[in-house]
Amino acid sequence: MQRLIYTSSARYNLKPSHINDILGHARANNRNVGITGLLVFHEGVFLQVLEGEHSTLTQLYARIRRDWRHTDCKALLAEPVAARMFPDWTMAYRPGEALEAMQTRLLGDIMSVVGSCKSGEFEDHPMLNVYLRAFVTSVRMRDAA
């Protein structure tokens, strides 16, 4: 089992209907191929957590990267995991408005590290790791409560 977290920038003309299309497709496909996760969309930025078998996830991420609806995909964290964080979610969705203040702050911290890091150095960045884990855990805890 593998987990991947990446961010990307939405195309400037992305409409709410595009997000609905993405989610509709993602949920149907992910159910079939055993992928679970979380998609966050805030101020033109996507952050997605994908969990599943390594080869399935690699193929899916390659497809996602080519999607015209976003650009500049950056993998922030890729790691083998013993268990899923989102076992019940084929693709949970959190728009920026649904985030708590602390989560929005963490997302800002994540994006400012990403902005200041050279591509390829994300996985070694100690604070990025902390922010990502805090953010993802807090979204998960909130929904479990």
Ligand X SMILES: Cc1cc2nc3c(=O)[nH]c(=O)nc-3n(C[C@H](O)[C@H](O)[C@H](O)COP(=O)(O)O)c2cc1C
Closer residue to ligand X (CB): 77 or 130: 77
What string marks each residue from 53 to 92 as x (binds ligand X by CB under 6 A) or -?
A: -------x--xx--x-xx--------------------x-
CB contact at 8 A, 35 and 52: yes
* Number of helices followed by number of strands (H, E) in the chain: 4, 5
Decide whether 30 or 103 has the Cβ nearer to ligand X.
30
Query: If binding is defined by CB under 6 A, does position 7 make contact with ligand X?
Result: no
Q: How many residues bind ligand X (CB under 6 A)?
A: 15
Please provide the distance, in angstroms rounded to a whole number, between the alpha carbons at the two ends of the chain. Answer: 25
Nearer to ligand X, 39 or 113 (CB): 39
